[in-house]
Amino acid sequence: MTNGLHIPKVSQSPTDPQFVGNPYDFYRKIRSIGDFVFWEDYDVVVATTHVACASLMKHPKLGRKPPIGQHLEDQSHFKTFQTLETHSLLEIEPPDHTRLRKAAMRGFDRNHIAALAPDVSRTIDKLIDQFPSERFDFLDSFAHPLPALVITQFFGLPDEMAPQLQIWSHDMVAMYEARRSRDIEIKAEAAATAFSTYLRDVLAKRGATPGVDYLSALMRAEKDGDIKSQNELLSTVILLLNAGHEASVHALAHAVNLLADHPERTLALEPTNIANTVEECLRFAPPLHMFNRYVYEDVRILEHDFKAGQTVGCLLGSACRDDALWPDGDKFDPIRYRRSNLAFGSGIHACLGASLARLELQIALPALFSRCPDLKIAEPPKLADRYHFHAVERLMVDITPAATSST
Residues annotated catalytic, as ranges: 243, 246, 248, 351, 360
Please say whether the beta carbons of 367 and 259 come within 8 A.
no
Q: List 291's β-bridge partners, or say none.
A: 314
d(CA 60, CA 39): 24
SS3 335: coil
Q: Backbone dihedral region of 115: left (phi > 0), alpha (psi from -120 to 50 degrees) or beta?
A: alpha
Query: Cα-Cα-Cα-Cα dihedral of 114, 116, 118, 123, to 10°?
Result: -140
What does the alpha-carbon distance between residue 282 and residue 288 come to, in Å, rounded to a whole number?
Answer: 10
**Count of residues in the chain:** 407
User: What's the rounded Cα separation, in Å, for the pair 202 and 312?
Assistant: 39
Give the strand pairing for 62-63 and 36-39: unpaired
Question: What pairs with residue 293 in β-bridges?
Answer: 312
CA gap 288, 18 in Å, rounded: 18
